Amino acid sequence: MMDVLLDKLKFDANGLVPVIVQDVESGQVLVMAFTNREALEKTIATGKVHTYSRSRGRVALKGESSGHFQHVKEVRTDCDLDAVLIKVVQVGGACHEGYRSCFFRRYEAGGGDWKVVEQPVFDPKAVYKK
């Protein structure tokens, strides 16, 4: 795909930039991931967020297993052109652990662990069953 805007992004040595996905309605930050040129092209072409999964070594459609797609409303970049922010309408939950947002744990000084401060919105065992 020819796209001069994507050409302007400063991908790192691995061809990646960090991407933040945000709920366009609530402003909640849903997930932080990495994307590359191909994933961005597919995101724009389909209107559904695709990211580059470093663990799987490939571009992945967010929600491909769960059906919890992220419908793109806006794509932004930052002053340095090395990070992307995508505002979306989130179906279900963004987190594979069943939460709306992956950022469901909070720092509390003196605690023994990061404290879970959100409620799950789906049951991962039911959604990811094969």
Task: State which of positions 40-99 bind a second copy (CB under 8 A).
Answer: 44, 74-81, 83, 85, 95-97, 99
Single out the residue of 34, 64, 36 nearest to residue 48, CA to CA. Answer: 64
1 binds a second copy (CB under 8 A): no
Residue of 15, 105, 123, 128 that binds a second copy (CB under 8 A): 105
31 binds a second copy (CB under 8 A): yes
Rounded to an integer, what distance in angstroms lies between the CA atom of residue 41 and that of residue 11?
Answer: 14
Q: Let me know: does 64 contact 46? Beta carbons within 8 Å.
A: no
Q: Let me know: does 104 contact 113? Beta carbons within 8 Å.
A: no
20 binds a second copy (CB under 8 A): yes
Residue of 13, 56, 57, 112 that binds a second copy (CB under 8 A): 112
Q: How many residues bind a second copy (CB under 8 A)?
A: 39
Min CB(129)–a second copy separation in Å? 19
Single out the residue of 113, 111, 87, 116 nearest to residue 26, CA to CA. Answer: 87
Supply φ then ψ for residue 17, to 5 degrees: -135, 150
Query: What number of other Cβ atoms are within 10 A of residue 54's Cβ?
Result: 11
Q: Which residues bind a second copy (CB under 8 A)?
A: 4-5, 8, 18, 20, 22, 26-29, 31-32, 44, 74-81, 83, 85, 95-97, 99, 102-107, 109, 111-114, 117
